[in-house]
Each structure stands twice: as structure tokens, then as C-alpha cells.
Amino acid sequence: MKILVPVKRVIDPYVKIRVKADESGVDTDHVKMSMNPFDEIAVEAALQLQEKGHASEVVLVSIGETAAIETLRAGLALGAARAIWIAAPNDLRSLAIAKLLAAVALREQAGLVLLGKQAIDGDNSQVGQMVAGLLAWPQATFASSIDIQDGIASVVREVDSGLETLALTLPAVISTDLRLNTPRYATLPNIMKAKAKPIQQLTLDDFSDVQVQSKQHIEKVTPPPVRQAGVKVGNVTELVNALSQAGVI
């Protein structure tokens, strides 16, 4: 079985985000970038499945501008066999990305699409569900445990009432949650080996049957409001009066 793992290049989660002065988006100039954390978990999950003998190959795919190659190299250094880069604008919307990933999954004859539950920049949590819908494949979202036996993927996911276990007939789409695993670190020898691993370059022209034009656009991006300072109260009566004035009670 071949596992396809989409990965996205995002602003490093430990970097403080700055909004552009014209509110057209987030400032990414001279900002540290990294692989989306949930995608790192997906890569680790795919590699673990391969190590258990459930997969013959782990293939990465990324959609974006040239810098996406760095993210793919990072994934290859972790142990993936090869990668696919689709050169495209970074501002493609979720549906366009899902259409491209679905097309790649069919071309590669993937038995499993394993991806992060969401990207930390857009926070949409849409692509995995859309890919499953476009392919008409079973899906499990927010996986905290994955096991494959006899062509059936058993996925445990956390829900409000506890734990839910789903059985999916492969091929399928699974999105990963934070508690699934702890991603491994790339060793220096594997980083050097990654430089020789193949990255197939494609463009949107290679997907002429896929419509990527979107009717959705971002009007503006604004920073969150500044949090107001707290106040100290001397007793319970003052606390109740302050809460009443604030409209809490």
C-alpha cells in the first residue's frame, strides 16, 4: 500500500504573527517557516505504519511556491521515499487544494491519504474532509490512534463523550490529531540522504481538468483586540458589583 501525505509550509508556531499594515494578510517577510505541526504528525504516523509493514512507500506532496521544496526536503529527511511538488500560488483556497490532492491520490493509486487535521495558518480544517468527499472514500478525522489489519484501518478519535473507534475500508482518508504521536527528529545522515531523494515537479497545467479558481477571497486580516488589564477587588461585594457592571451577571 502507498501512503500519500500532504504537507504545508507555514509560519513557525513559535513565531509571533504580525499583520500587514494594509490588513491584506500576515507578514511573512524574514519570518521563520516550518512544516505544519499536524502534518509532521501525519508524516510520523505514515512512517510508523511503513515500519510495521502496512505500507510499501510513503510519498509526500506539497502545493505552493518554490519554498515548498524546503518543506518536502524536511519530510524526506524524516524517512519518506519521494515527494511531489505542485507549483502554484500560496493563496489557493481549501477546495482547490483538495481537488489537486484528490487528483494526485488517484494518479499515485494511494491506498491511504494521511494528513494533518488542519493547517495552523488558515485553521480551516476542511481539506481532509473535502478530499474524502471528492474521492468518495471513507474518512476519519482527528485520529488519536491508527491501526491497520487486513485492509481495514481502525481509527480511535476523541469526542465529547469519550473515545470513538471507526473501522474504515481502504482506500481511505485520515486526518491526524495532536495526541497521535511525537514526530521524530531528522538525523544528519538522513538529512544528507534527503538531498538525493527525488522530488517530482508538477504545475497546474498538469491538472488541466481541475478547476482551481475560487469564488472566495479574504477581505482583510486584523490582529485580535488588545486584552484589557484586570482589576483587583477588596471583597466579595466589590466582586459582585464589578461583575454586574461588566454585564457578566
pLDDT along the chain (249 residues), means of 10: 95 87 83 93 96 94 94 95 93 92 95 94 90 96 94 92 93 94 92 93 91 83 83 88 84
The predicted pLDDT at position 29 comes to 83
Give the whole-angstrom CA distance, residue 8 versus residue 110.
Answer: 19
Q: Phi and psi of 101, rounded to 5°?
A: -65, -40
The pLDDT value given to residue 219: 84
Q: Are strands 199-203 and 172-176 parallel, antiparallel or unpaired?
A: unpaired
What pTM does this model have? 0.85
CA distances, 218 to each of 9, 54, 88, 212, 214 (Å): 19, 41, 18, 16, 11
pLDDT given for residue 156 in this prediction: 95
71: number of Cβ within 10 Å: 23
- What does the pLDDT read at residue 161? 86
Write down the pLDDT at residue 230: 80
- Beta-carbon contacts of residue 221 (< 8 Å; ≥ 6 apart): 19, 20, 23, 24, 25, 26
Confirm or reject CATH 3.30.43.10 for domain 2-245, answering yes or no: no
Specify whether the CB–CB gap between 183 and 48 falls below 8 A. no
Q: What is the pLDDT of residue 23?
A: 84
